[in-house]
Structure 1
Amino acid sequence: MFPNAKNTIIKGGTFTMQGDFHSQPNLNDGRRSMEILQENIAPGAFHNSAERYDPPKCHPHTRRAVLKKIEDWARDANKVALFLWLYGPAGAGKSAIAQSIAELFEKAGLLAASFFFSRNSSGRNDEAPLIATLAYQLIISIPEIRSHVLEALDRDPAIFSRSIHAQIQALVVKPLNAVAKDETLAPILFSRPRLIILDGLDECRTTSSQTRILNALSTAMRRLRIPLCFLIASRPEQHIREAFNDQSDSLGSLSFSIALDDTYEPDSDVQVFLQSAFDEIKRKHPSRAHLPTSWPILEDIGRLVAKSSGQFIFASTVVKYVNSHRQWPPDRLKVIFGQSKSGQETPFAELDSLYRLILSSVADVERLRDLLMFLVLKPFQGRWVQTATLIEEFLFYRAGEMEMILSDLHSIIDVPRPGGWGRELRFFHASLPDFLLDRSRSLDFFLNRGDAYAKLTELAVKHINNSTASPLNNQCTYVFSLVY
């Protein structure tokens, strides 16, 4: 009507339109914006996605203490720490804990969003879909921000080509702050879910992207009027540990951590899991009517617990192998203990793959072998504490070189924090030496015991003949007692 009209004033009258009238479509109805958002999410990263079904979760009656500590933190309305870093060695059960918390808080209506990384799943192994995936879940759990998020996408349809900082500012910070400033909506916002769970941060493709994610989240939380809180689970990789431990940085000052160590008595939880799993095998296995009621004996359960070292991956690997409906379970358990051969099957395939993946991340393979040699054979055990400094000196490395080698091994070796290099280096997993000493399992990382002792002897002789005075020189004769 009135095309190209300028400075027109009409008062009163009745107008009747005849013929076709073409109006400009409404570009702000949100449909296209929603399509853009959905095109950039990783649906497989949801805690309840079809891609992840059936995800690992805590076995009943296990992990009670750590689950309660996380729940108490998440429910605390007055908490200062907005980030909880849950960390532990490879196979410690971090994802199971994160999944259990996600299900618990979703049931209570308190889960805002989640993202479960996976290095082997396209779309879940990099930072690109993270903010879109979180924003998509947030407009569901906090519907008051929906229009603000969609308007941001309408204004900038290419937002996902921008930095993660720009994305989180446009799609999370500004929408939440806009609602927080609204006097009628702000009280509702306080009652909405605010827990976000990120699991497996170390499985995001690169260390730089992992660091960018942490920086973007910590910056965003300082700008929010009503803050969210994050449970972040990962292995204790050096760059992640440094980020959370740096109290001068915004992230470090806003976070606290839970280490999956002996504090939470994991051996007891592993024993509960194993006993329950074997009971289920005896109830459901095709040969259940013929299985001995006393199988497995408590001594065997204890041996498995000891080998697990508090890490659930060993125990779950054993259970999966033993619970074969085509094989006699007691025979399968004998294979685990090395009392019979496994044939063509590899009972520890999952565990071996994990170990090889971690070891392959170290660039200097020869120096890696030297370190593993020391930790497996323990040539100074009972004499000196095998610290990183001692190993470094014995191997004639320059000061600081051992720290570089260890930087990629925090998920399998208990590496001291800065200033704690007087503490002994040790494996997190008691099953790792078995892996390294078995060529069929460790492949390129096989540790030949004879070659290793020969090298230790060669180094000991070099120290004894070394004209430079060192306490280590006088102790090297002990190495000979290991060989001769």
Structure 2
Amino acid sequence: MKKATEKHQDLPLDWPGDEKINELTSRACGLFIWASTASRFIGHYPASRLETILGGNITATQSPLDELYETTLKSAGIWSAPDLLQDFHKVLSIILSAQRPLTISAIKQLLAVSQCEGSISIVPHLYSVLSYNLDNPTAPVQILHPSFADFLFNVNRSGHVYINKDTSHKDLAIACLKRLCTKGLKRNISNLTLAFQDWKSEDLVEDIAYACLFWVDHVLATVNSSIVLIVPYIEEFLQEHLLHWFEAMSVLEKSRETIRLLDHLLRKIPSSII
């Protein structure tokens, strides 16, 4: 709160006063992540956001953290605006299901193959619960605390902002395969001119590298009932780009992983549907 008064000169020096500080402390219930998230949420619009938090009512079945997450998402407009809610689901599905944190640029590329690139504009609305730096394209976007993922993956806690983990992996598997098949992989992807020229993993852009490394993992994480939806993309990939994938995995120094991944894939997909 002291930082808020330093940033917003119109606030009284003793803002918000001991009584409200004590009420905030009580609502935190000893949870550091509650205090951290609340501070980020309040910081941009201190007076109104403080009243929003203190005016919220925690139900008998709702935890203080769930109430705070619900409050922050409602203030961002996600709870009531269909377009924002749709963008929220698309972007958070990638962020929560990714095997490693991705940058804004990589997320945009994966969204682009699904014709949802504009959805990335939702990120600034979520400054209270995400860690990111829009001015640094190499900085990853990730949730601040695992409790936010727990909240979103539980339909009883998050309601209509709920994100289905199985569907997220299915969608990300398809996005990875489409990215690799759409101006992603090709012969001699690193444009080598000499046989003895060194390969460098940096030769592959982040989203291509991610898709090469983890598309199988996302297929394996998909429930069996949804596998049939991915099969057409897998067939196209294996028919057109299998050797290109082998080359890319060599550039990434993961060539030994290819046989293991394909073996797991074969075990996952019933022979009757491929």
Higher helix share: 2
Structure with max Cα Rg: 1
